[in-house]
Amino acid sequence: CLKCDRTQEDLAGLFLRSDTEGRGYLTFDGFFQLMSMYKVEVESILQPCIRDSRGLIQVGASKERFFGANLIEKNRSNVNGQEHISISTGAMKSQNFSQELYESRIASLQRFVSMTVMFHQMGSRVQNYFANTSFGLLGYRMDRSHSIMRIATTASPISGAEIRDRAKIIHYMRKVRHSVHIISVAWLEYKRRKNEERNNDFELKSCSYGNSK
């Protein structure tokens, strides 16, 4: 159904979409069909086309305050006076996939460039300091000494998300190994006590049998 917070441009787009014959007004059947649309259908109609005249996808810059803000606003509702946000599983998966693409293609490059610039600036300042304070006697070239930055600025081959997931797996594996170790120690202690009891019973039976003779 239509929401009252739609902009005038959205309402005009819905009207033009429903007025297929270009009469400038809607019939009762067309109005009823428009009002009977589901929220997903309305969103699909109002979704702007991202392809140009050549059919190529043109993705514009996002104006969201944070990634996923529009998705939250479109799925926000009030149930019994309480704010409720219901996001489908498909939308959540698309958000995760977009974040993975951003991490592997943009965020990792930004970290690499910032780290490269930072370490290069540090090395350059140290190089200039010794050259200026010693009148050139202790001067050296940064690219021909042990302070070379090509090793220190090697980019991480995996993303931060993979490191976080791997850390969780390692944490759970440590818990499993600790549990297995505790169970193994308890089982060995149980076997030891059983063997001692069996040996004690055997010795008692042997002594009683010898005394009877």
Number of H helices, E strands in the chain: 7, 2
Pairing of strands 82-85, 76-79: antiparallel
Q: Please name the residues in contact with 139: beta carbons below 8 A apart, sequence gap of 6 or more.
A: 127, 130, 131
Residue 181 confidence (pLDDT) = 92
Q: Is the pTM of this model over 0.75?
A: no
Q: Please name the residues in contact with 15: beta carbons below 8 A apart, sequence gap of 6 or more.
A: 26
Residue 68 confidence (pLDDT) = 76
Which token pair is 139?
């001067």
Residue 26: count other Cβ atoms within 10 Å of its Cβ: 15
Task: Name residue, tokens 């600790």.
Answer: 178
How many whole angstroms separate alpha carbon 200 and alpha carbon 187?
A: 20
Residue 2 confidence (pLDDT) = 46
Residue numbers of the chain with a pLDDT score lower than 70: 1-7, 39-41, 43-45, 47-50, 74-75, 77-79, 81, 83-91, 145-161, 209-213
Residue 145 confidence (pLDDT) = 60
